[in-house]
């Protein structure tokens, strides 16, 4: 048994975290079961589509500027294990909060695309927002 292959297969085919790969143009090339669960699009619906599928419209220009820079430089500022926290969209238009890391894909010395591992942190984000709201109310009422 090739343990590395078994681990890779288990991670890619698991439904806990979304794993999404893109080509250098930002077209989706891999959409695992976790991405189906998180975003609601089947692999058939997502593969070949632009990442705009899950990026809120107001954030697209900023996203694509960063994406083009990463493709040109071959590096992402989030590629060293740093988490990026952003809003994303589901198939039904719901806005969710995701955290993710990015790995750059290289082919023959050229940047070929990216792989992002994403986790839905909407529940934690909403709980934190509520705690901050309550703290602000308490601070305001004790003044």
**Model pTM?**
0.84
Ordered by start, the domain boundaries in the chain are 3-141
DSSP 34-81: HHHHHH---HHHHTTSBGGGTS-GGGHHHHHHHHHHHHHHS--TTTTS
Between 6 and 23, the more confident residue is: 23
| The predicted structure's pLDDT at residue 77 | 72
- CATH homologous superfamily of domain 3-141? PAS domain (3.30.450.20)
**Residue 81 confidence (pLDDT) above 70:** no
| The predicted structure's pLDDT at residue 139 | 78
Between 98 and 16, the more confident residue is: 98
């Amino acid at each position: 048994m090739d343990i590395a292959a078994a681990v890779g297969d288990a991670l890619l085919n698991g439904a806990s975290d979304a794993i999404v790969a893109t080509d250098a143009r930002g077209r989706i090339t891999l959409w695992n079961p976790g991405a189906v669960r998180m975003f609601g699009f089947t692999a058939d619906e997502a593969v070949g589509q632009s990442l705009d599928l899950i990026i809120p419209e107001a954030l697209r220009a900023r996203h694509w500027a960063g994406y083009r820079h990463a493709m040109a430089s071959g590096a992402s500022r989030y590629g060293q294990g740093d988490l990026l926290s952003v809003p994303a969209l589901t198939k039904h238009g719901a806005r969710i909060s995701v955290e993710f890391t990015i790995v750059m894909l290289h082919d023959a010395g050229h940047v070929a695309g990216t792989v992002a591992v994403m986790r839905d942190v909407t529940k934690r984000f909403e709980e934190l927002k509520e705690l901050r709201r309550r703290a602000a109310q308490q601070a305001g009422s004790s003044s």
